[in-house]
Amino acid sequence: MDGLLPSSTTTTNGNTKVINSFFPNPVTTTNRDYHINTSSLSQTPADYFVGVLDHQSTATSPQQIQIDNSNSTFFIADSIRDELTRRMAKIQEMSSETINIEIPSKVDVFIDLIQIDQISGASSFTFNGMISTVYRATNSETGQLFCLRRFHSFQPNTANTKLLMGTIESWKRIQHPNIIPLRQVFTTKSFGDSSVIFVYDYYPLAETIMSSYFSNQLNTIGNNSGGGGGGNHSTTTTTTMTMNGYSTSSRPYSQQQQNTRKYLPEQTIWNYIIQISSALRTIHQSNLAFRSLDPTKILITSGGGGGGVNGTHSNINRGRDARVKLSFCGVTDILTLDSIHSSANNHRAFIQHLQQEDLILFGRFCLSIATNSLTAFTTSALQRDNNHHNHNNNIQEYIDTIPRNYSNDLRNLILYLITFKTNSTSKPRSIDDIMPMIGARFYMQLDYFYLRYDYLYDELAKEVDNGRLLRLLSKLGTINERPEHQLDPTWSETGDRYMLKLFRDYLFHQCDETGKPWLDLGHIISNLNKFDIGSPEKICLISRDAQNVIIVSFEELKRCFETAINDLMQ
């Protein structure tokens, strides 16, 4: 129904009048009545082509009940439609610009590979000396889209295939709303080298936290290791930085201009904390560690624009309904296979150590978003490894800035996560420890998401109705004027199907008194609804040459329609 403007309505004495919405100069509806009653039957046939709109308040379809003075009661809210439309456009993007001779036409079962985010024009990511490239691809067997992360020139470790397969299976089993699931891992020579491909679910328009919040700071890393606050822009376009063991290429200056946001609302930070901690909890409970927690590996998959619970834009709610997901799951484990340990005890201790590292990285991540400083993440990452004392001093500077903008609770949570305990006798921390620190904010965020859920459900209901009408119209279009049935009496101009053709004219091809096309979405929708439910109400159908006039009920039309569509489907 997109593209058709909705009708507005007025209600007088229990009658709802749908006012022409479709065209700028609507025909006045006051004197129009499409209900076939004795008085209307006395009209001339031509009168029936004049606009006909008048809903009784005892409307029989949900669509009629929904109609009111506002467009938003008729169609899904603009903010949701915008986001979904942009997603669809992204999905359908098959741009010729991205045709790249280095990309094979088929990799395993995947076709139509398009490199995602070719920001610097080159593969931007290295891990353990391996270059990584991310593609969107279509599974040729199912038509589903996936995200393929390829590591170039991979030498598989054949020493422990059982452990490798076990690790892959453990990651594939993880299902969580804040984790992008790993579907498959395979090696391929399709790119002309020996590559390993990690297959993940694809999220159109997903944006990394890095590009969403920190792209304007990338070039300052390395030059600026002081206290919190965003850095100045540099006009350099190809700086390379190292973060958490990975090297990344920075964005061009034009891209850095996009996100110059100051401090995030505290609720948004708690929103991220709740979602990411929940993901880590599931990973840790599965005896695994994420090992890659940094701003480039956390994706905002929806709601980053701050639509708000009811679709209204507000800065206060910016990011409050953002959905975040951890990407890159399993990569470190599978590529390094460094979890090979002879005894079960060693293995447990090793995983526990990695989980502690996850908590520290999580703390650094929270610190960086709370201070709006990528340096808070990278400095602490580097300095912790080099010198604990300096590390603590510099981190303290960042932590001290938190209460200027946020609660002590947030500060304490970050401090708890970030504090690196060297004492091997101290009890290992668990992600569950932070639950009491989040406290009642869980409820606040949950309430917020429930409200959003209810709102989205209501919006969905409108489109369900529109979807029903689209299916009805598709069937009607399929039946009408099929050339191969021209000689078949049941399909001919005198048969049952003829009425459906006249009904099509009745819906779409009416003219006003002056012979001008009369277009009204309300007329179309209300009559389609009556047709769909097979209302006993009658209408008058007139042939184009005005020689045939047929009085028929919607019920009868529906019977013709069902017979016709059943015939076609056999």
Ligand X SMILES: Nc1ncnc2c1ncn2[C@@H]1O[C@H](COP(=O)(O)OP(=O)(O)OP(=O)(O)O)[C@@H](O)[C@H]1O
CB of 297 to ligand X, least distance (A): 6
Residue 127 contacts ligand X per CB under 6 A: no
Q: Token match 């001779």: residue? A: 101
Closest among 249, 102, 137, 133 to 196, alpha carbons compared: 133
Residue 134 contacts ligand X per CB under 6 A: yes
CA distances from 249 to 28, 232, 246, 362 (A): 62, 18, 10, 22
**Angstrom distance (rounded) from CA 206 to CA 213:** 13
Closest among 171, 179, 107 to 137, alpha carbons compared: 107
Q: Is 204 annotated as a binding residue?
A: yes
Q: Is 296 annotated as a binding residue?
A: yes
Interface residue with ligand X, options 108, 207, 537, 567 (CB under 6 A): 207
Nearer to ligand X, 139 or 553 (CB): 139
Interface characters, 263-302, with ligand X (x: CB under 6 A): ---------------------------------xx-x---
Q: Is 203 annotated as a binding residue?
A: yes
Interface residue with ligand X, options 195, 208, 317, 445 (CB under 6 A): 208
Q: Is 382 annotated as a binding residue?
A: no
Residue 402 contacts ligand X per CB under 6 A: no
Q: Is 205 annotated as a binding residue?
A: yes
Interface residue with ligand X, options 200, 214, 406, 531 (CB under 6 A): 200
Residue 398 contacts ligand X per CB under 6 A: no
The set of long-range contacts for 185-190, using a CB threshold of 8 Å and a minimum separation of 24, is 185/330, 185/334, 186/108, 187/154, 187/156, 188/107, 188/108, 190/104, 190/106, 190/107, 190/108
Interface characters, 169-188, with ligand X (x: CB under 6 A): -----------x--------
Interface residue with ligand X, options 171, 202, 518, 531 (CB under 6 A): 202
Helix (H) or strand (E) holding 504: helix 496-508
Nearer to ligand X, 117 or 463 (CB): 117
Question: Any idea what DSSP says for residue 45?
Answer: G
Residue 197 contacts ligand X per CB under 6 A: no
Q: Are 51 and 523 contacting, i.e. CB atoms less than 8 angstroms apart? A: yes
Question: Any idea what DSSP says for residue 155?
Answer: -
Q: Are 453 and 459 contacting, i.e. CB atoms less than 8 angstroms apart? A: no
Interface residue with ligand X, options 210, 279, 374, 381 (CB under 6 A): 210
Give percent helix, percent strand, percent coil of the chain, each to the nearest 5. Answer: 45, 15, 40
**Angstrom distance (rounded) from CA 55 to CA 53:** 7
Residues binding ligand X: number (CB under 6 A): 22
Residues 298-317 that bind ligand X (CB under 6 A): 299
Binding residue ranges for ATP: 149, 201-208, 296-297
Known binding-site residue numbers: 149, 201-208, 296-297
**Residue ranges binding ligand X (CB under 6 A):** 116-117, 124-125, 134, 147, 180, 200-203, 206-208, 210-211, 246, 248, 296-297, 299, 327
